A = this chain, B = another copy of it.
Amino acid sequence: MTATSNKEACTPRTSQEGPDVRPVEGPQADEELASLTKALGHPARVQIMRLLVRREACICGDIVDELPLAQSTVSQHLKVLKDAGLIRGEIDGPRVCYCVEPRTLRRLKALVGSL
């Protein structure tokens, strides 16, 4: 199959976790907010997040095709988002399926909302 998205591969196991009890203010939270916004602070990475959020499913491959950047550059951006915990990548045969990490995204929204 062409497999551009996949609802099975990495359906968010974390989505029905309990509420986040971490404080939304304080030095720790500030660092976290800075780190998350920094990760998101690039047009290509925003675009990637949009792609993943819109589909509400993983995207297996084909992310490169959506962006006007070289494959290695896109891979680099995916790594930044992954290191920030905003997305997750699971190996699916020859491809890698990327999907958002709902928990971290919620955390980002909570932190921004606290401003």
Give A contacts to B, CB under 8 Å.
25, 30-31, 33-35, 37-43, 45-47, 49-50, 53, 105, 108-109, 112-113, 115
Q: How far is the CA of A30 from the CA of B109 in the complex (A)?
A: 16
Tell whether, in the assembled complex, residue A45 and residue B34 are in contact, meaning their CB atoms are under 8 Å apart. yes
Partner of A53, one of B34, B105, B115: B115
- Smallest CB separation, A11 vs chain B (Å): 18
Q: Tell me the nearest residue of chain B to A38, going by C-beta.
A: B41
The CB with the most chain B CB atoms within 10 A, among A37, A43, A108, is that of A37
- CB-defined A-B contacts under 8 Å, sample of 7: A30-B46, A31-B46, A38-B42, A39-B41, A49-B115, A112-B112, A113-B113
Contacts of A108 in B (CB 8 A): 112, 115
Q: Tell me the nearest residue of chain B to A49, going by C-beta.
A: B115
Tell whether, in the assembled complex, residue A105 and residue B115 are in contact, meaning their CB atoms are under 8 Å apart. yes
Partner of A30, one of B25, B34, B50: B50
